[in-house]
Amino acid sequence: ESGILAAAWNPDESLLAIITGEQKLVLMTSALDVLSETPLHADEFGEDAPINVGWGSKQTQFHGSLGKTAAQAPSITKVGSSPDDDNQPRISWRGDGAFFVVSSLSPEDANGLRHRTLRVYDRQAALQSTSEAVPGLEHPLVWRPSGNLIVGTQRFGFEGGGAGKEGRHDVVFFERNGLRHGEFNLRVEHLGGKVEGLDWNADSNVLSVWIEGDDGDIVQLWSTGNYHWQAQMYLKHEIAAPLSPSGQPGRFTSVSWHPEVPLYLLLTTQTQLIQRKYAWDTFVSRSQPPNDSGTVAVLDGSTILLTPFRVQNVPPPMSSYQLVLASPPSASDFINMKTPIHISLSSQDDILAVLWESGYLELWSLNTRIGSNSGPVMAPKKILSGYARNDTTVQWRQIALQNPADTLPTIVVLGTSSIGTDVIARLHVNGNDVTNLDKMACPRNCRLLNNSPDIYQTPKGDLIKCIVIPVKTVILPSKEKDGLSNSVFIGLGKSGQLNAAKANSEPSILSGNVTSFAVASNFVIYTTNTHEAIFVPVKELSNFKVGDAASTTTLSRKLERGSRIVTAVPSSMSLVLQMPRGNLETINPRPLVMEVVKQDLDADCSGNYRKAFFACRKHRIELNVLVDHDQATFLEQASSFVNQIPEVDHLNLFLTSIGRGPQSQDIITKVSDAIRLELEKIDLAKYINTILTAHVVKTPPDHEAGLLQLLRLRESDPNLVEEAVKYIIFLVDADRLFDTALGMYDFSLVLMIAQHAQKVAISSHHIRDVYQDPREYLPFLRELRALDKYYQRFRIDDHLKRYQSALRNLSLAVPERFDEAVSYIELHRLYELALSIWKNTDRFEAILELYGDWLFERREFKQAAEVFVEANKISKAMVSYEKCLQWQELFNLAVLENVGEEKLVEMGYRVAEDLVSKKRHSDAGRVLLDYSKDTREAVIAFVQGNMFSEARRIATLSSKAELLEDVIHPAAFESRAQLSEEVGEMQAQLRKQVDRLRELRIKKEEEPDVFYGTEDVALQNIDVMTDVSMPATAFTRYTVAPTATSRSSNSRSKRKAERKVGSGRKGTVDEEEYLLKSIAKLVERFTAAQGEARNLLPHLFQITPDHRREGQELQKEISDFEAEFRVAVEDIWARPVTDGDAEVPAPDTWLTRMEEAEKKKQINPIDKVSKPDLSQGKGWRMNLFDME
């Protein structure tokens, strides 16, 4: 009955909050059922009332000479409402619908003033908090959708208002508990008027302020970054209402954001609907090296904040320089707005172009200081100003600069005409004059490309190049590929897809989770949702086809969570990132550093090695990249490298890095020698330390050459040698240097190293175990000096464990030391060296016999026998031949040495017995026949080896028919029984293993997770853990033998574990593979048995009827087993039948990748073990048995 003063639905439209004319708050459901009805003006604070213990209050502060009365003095501040207040309440819901805020005027106080109060309620309309009294608080009200701030406006300069300049308006912020949380000034003093409304866009990033000015309405768009709103927000844009048809000031009737599209603004007037869709743009200088400054511009009203990141990193809201723009000249049909519509930076020099919506533009030369010279970072100078075209019907919105070489840029501007089409105009700059070149119409809502102003992009994403026809002085759109064929276009979509495309080709997706990107230093650099920076070489994209981008060579680097790219500065090898909290960080990624280093190495004719060296040193890049870039060129330009980097310490650092690098020994040696030779030409004394370093870093180190350099300087400059010795002792252990000097047989050098090493040890308070005390090494040197030349060198080499050199020197000593040489040979096993030393001497046979004895002890009997023959030690050679069963050579020597008949027979029996034990029955039979003359034993040896044909031949040849009955016939029965028993064993093994395989495969099909011991990947999506606590274990089905020391197992235990894999222990996952390998080996065994049967069956058929029956039964047994074996092999190695339909590819998710990884573990063992071939033993059957 009293009417409704305000109403607002919550975001999901399930609740409706209403304020009635009776000053009551009513909360209703979507069905208009009343949930709550409470008085609007409540005396209590609310449920979230703070607890006040007095700390920090006025009453507890010290007031100096004013005394305690000052603490009790009442406040005289008057709090009233704004004259612009419409006296109506306002309601605004939080984005999640959990709370809403009500702004209403309080009843009049004692001064007759009313003020606005904010009250926060929950979904049940329970009062949560009440704001403090704010002088001049006005009616506009909006709660930020993200929920952290409540926004209103405050006016100053009147009774009951804020203390400040008249006409000043602030946007003020409140927290949910009612406390103030910052403010910023609207900068509208020159406009007059009042604030009509506030509104946040859908993602809470942009705040619109609707201002009713004296000359018309204006909507300001404000954004925030790095908590900048605590002092002030960035004024990004101003929108003026168009004039009415009658020429009156334009007025908006509504201003609102799209509820879902974040940067879509809707404005209405009495006669128009205005739709504006915005996009974020980073104003970055695209000037090329070496003049790239990395300047980034931030637009803040009529002030442009400029920071050249090549020179310094200044985080917002601060900046290196603030360029304050003057108000542009007023133009008819436009309110004089100070905020530019767009700015752009050139790609050649730091030239800044500024555009206002009226078409007024300015061109500034920033004059950025790039070098290390003193002075201001920037000194901007205006070089041009004026209107783009004398056409007030066009609303201009974008400007870009096209930079021909060595000339001022061509300006390209884009706007919307009064008839709704877009217009592109080009202007040529010549000094202070601007010439209008051409103008064209293009599809509506297109945009210019900053780095290619002659190309524009349509709303559908098409790229169109403008071509100029000089005759008619117009530009026309062209979709021909000639102008774009060599270009690659890269763009970031709303969904995070980074696309790359060439002319007349479909775009290819570089990545699907990109948050920002930049192109610099021949790389496409982008950040991802996985907090990485990815570097894709541009050359990888120049010839790519659709789908190839996924295979490009990329480099990556981990970043802080939520990092985004601001700019990349190639010359300083830096990438500037902005963190989620707003601060800026400059990093030097390795790809950018390496790109600049490579450019420096390829610079000019001899490379800029100094710049590349210091870049690697500064950014901790291994210095070996200076060589790896082009090894051949570096070796050719070694002199240029030394001339550019003459500092001794830097050269030492370089050589040390090369010595520790991954290059081959040959490259390290070549580089070290090339640097050393150049330094020796320049100044041996100056670069002695570097020359020593060049010798030491080689692999192996050339300590001897380094010490020879010291000998060259010892006479001319003793002081320098002393310092050089100290330096080389710093690089190399003194004990090794002492040994090297001793190995050069120069005692003066040995003493110099020992003495200086002792000084270094004392000065560094370092105690050495060897050679520190002269009482230890001087007696040793005196003893060596007293010896003759070669024996002295022998003692030195032996001390240094250079045993081969020691033996050579010992061989040159007096002949009486031969016995000592023999002992030395035996001690260090230098037999082969000794043979080469004493060859063609009378001591050669003695050395040979010594060598043969050593081989005999090592059980290398064959080689020992050959050495003994060469040494003419026939008896030892015969013993060696007998040990290795080389019976032909043995009996050849025995006959040549006229060994007696009795010894020859005895030797034959002994050798034949050893041959039989080695299953060499044929050789044993021949020895018994030829040398022992024992036919019976020979026949026995042949039949033991299943050589019945040879046994029967020998028996017949020697006319000993009794051997047939006594030896051959029983042996045939025995061989048949052995073969039958072997076939039975193989059959039992096959059946047992086939049954086990079938059991395993049934288990694998029924319970694959249990069989493989895999985890159900679906469990990875469960968010809640079980309450049951269990100790961690490393045991799985793949575990062979878990132990407590498995984590610290050494290489021996690892090799042992590898040998156990596939051992076939029952219950392990490798059991099936083991069984297949065992059956494959069984085939080989059966093939051998078939060969034995091939030799035996003919004799069983021929000897006697009983033998024939046994042969027939044996052939049947083997045939039956062969058939069973074939069936088993075909069944075991049969592959499962799969569905012929093509599988539908699963989406690329984490879950599918986990499933694919598990499938790779479940490889079928038949893919690892090849199917055995049973046809190798064919031809063993005797067909005559089938006819019986």
pTM of this structure: 0.70
Whether 904 contacts 923, CB under 8 Å:
no
Q: Which residue has the higher pLDDT, 93 or 715?
A: 93
Mean pLDDT of all residues in 1059-1075 = 69
CB atoms within 10 A of CB 712: 12
139-169 per-position pLDDT tens digit? 999 999 988 899 999 998 888 887 777 778 8
- Give the model's confidence band at 1187: pLDDT under 50 very low, under 70 low, under 90 confident, else very high: low
Q: Tell me whether the omega of the peptide bond preceding residue 662 falls within 30 degrees of 0, making it cis.
A: no
The DSSP letter of residue 967 is: I
Contact 568, 520 (CB under 8 A): yes
For 825-881, what is each residue's pLDDT tens digit? 999 999 999 999 999 888 999 999 999 999 999 999 999 999 999 999 999 999 999
* Contact of 837 with 808, CB cutoff 8 Å: yes
For 217, the enclosing helix (H) or strand (E) is strand 216-223
pLDDT > 80? residue 275: yes
- Measured CA to CA in angstroms, residue 610 lies from 372, 668, 1188 at distances of 18, 20, 98
Which residue is listed with tokens 């020359």? 691
- CATH fold label, 489-587: Lipocalin (2.40.128)
Asked if residue 762 has pLDDT above 50, the reply is no
- How crowded is residue 378: how many other Cβ atoms within 10 Å of its Cβ? 24
List the helix and strand counts (H, then E) for the chain.
34, 45
In this prediction, residues 1098-1126 reach a mean pLDDT of: 85
Return the higher-pLDDT residue of 109 and 802. Answer: 802
Pairing of strands 234-240, 254-257: unpaired
Token reading at 484: 């774009």
Backbone angles phi and psi of 38, in degrees to 5: -135, 155
595-636 pLDDT per residue, tens = 999 999 998 778 899 999 999 999 999 999 999 999 999 999
Interval 472-495: pLDDT, tens: 333 344 444 444 566 788 888 888
CATH class of 1-45+77-185: mainly beta
Give the CB-side neighbour count of residue 657, counting CA atoms within 13 A. 18
The answer to whether 131 and 97 are in contact (CB under 8 A) is no
For the chain, how many residues are written?
Answer: 1188
**155-164, 791-800, 1012-1021 — which one is most confidently predicted on average?**
791-800
CATH 2.30.30.90 fits 281-479, yes or no: no
- Whether residue 953 has pLDDT greater than 80: yes
Q: Where are the beta strands (DSSP E) in 512-605?
A: 514-520, 523-528, 532-537, 555-558, 564-569, 574-578, 584-587
Residue 477 parent element (H or E): strand 474-478
Q: Whole-angstrom Cα distance, residue 456 to residue 444?
A: 11
Give the pLDDT confidence of 658-716 residue by residue, as tens digits: 998 888 999 999 999 999 999 999 998 999 999 999 999 998 899 989 888 888 888 78
pLDDT level of residue 99 (50, 70, 90 thresholds): very high
Q: Which of 769-783, 1044-1058, 1114-1128 has the lowest mean pLDDT?
A: 1044-1058
For residues 804 and 798, give the distance between their C-alpha atoms in angstroms, rounded to a whole number. 9
Has residue 1137 got a pLDDT over 50? yes
Q: Residue 1150 above 70 pLDDT?
A: no
Does residue 404 have a cis bond before it (omega within 30 degrees)? Answer: no
* Mean pLDDT for the stretch of residues 586-592: 93
∠ at Cα 636 (631, 642), nearest 5°? 100
pLDDT at 1162: 62
Average pLDDT, the chain: 82
CA distances from 939 to 218, 908, 921, 953, 964 (A): 123, 15, 10, 9, 9
pLDDT per residue over 879-929, tens digit each?
999 999 999 899 999 988 888 888 899 999 999 999 988 888 889 998 988
SS3 for 551?
helix
What is the spatial distance between Cα 304 and Cα 234, in angstroms, rounded to a whole number? 10
Contact (CB, 8 A) for 819 and 806: no
What is the arithmetic mean of pLDDT over 757-772?
A: 46
Does the pLDDT value for residue 1022 go beyond 50?
no
> Which of 187-201, 476-490, 806-820 holds the top average pLDDT?
806-820
pLDDT at site 90:
95
Closest CA to 197 of 271, 268, 140, 139: 140
Query: Does residue 49 carry a pLDDT above 70?
Result: yes
Check if the beta carbon of residue 1138 is closer than 8 Å to that of residue 1049: no
CA 402, CA 427: separation in Å to the nearest integer?
A: 10
Burial class (CB in 10 A: 0-12, 13-18, 19+), 827: exposed
Query: Mean pLDDT lowest for which of 368-377, 996-1005, 1052-1061?
Result: 1052-1061
Q: How confident is the model at residue 227 (pLDDT cuts 50, 70, 90)?
A: very low
682, 687, 692, 698 alpha-carbon torsion, rounded to 10°: -60
In this structure, what is the dihedral angle of CA atoms 49, 55, 57, 59, given to the nearest 10 degrees? 130
Which range among 93-97, 549-553, 1041-1045, 1182-1186 has the greatest average pLDDT?
Answer: 93-97
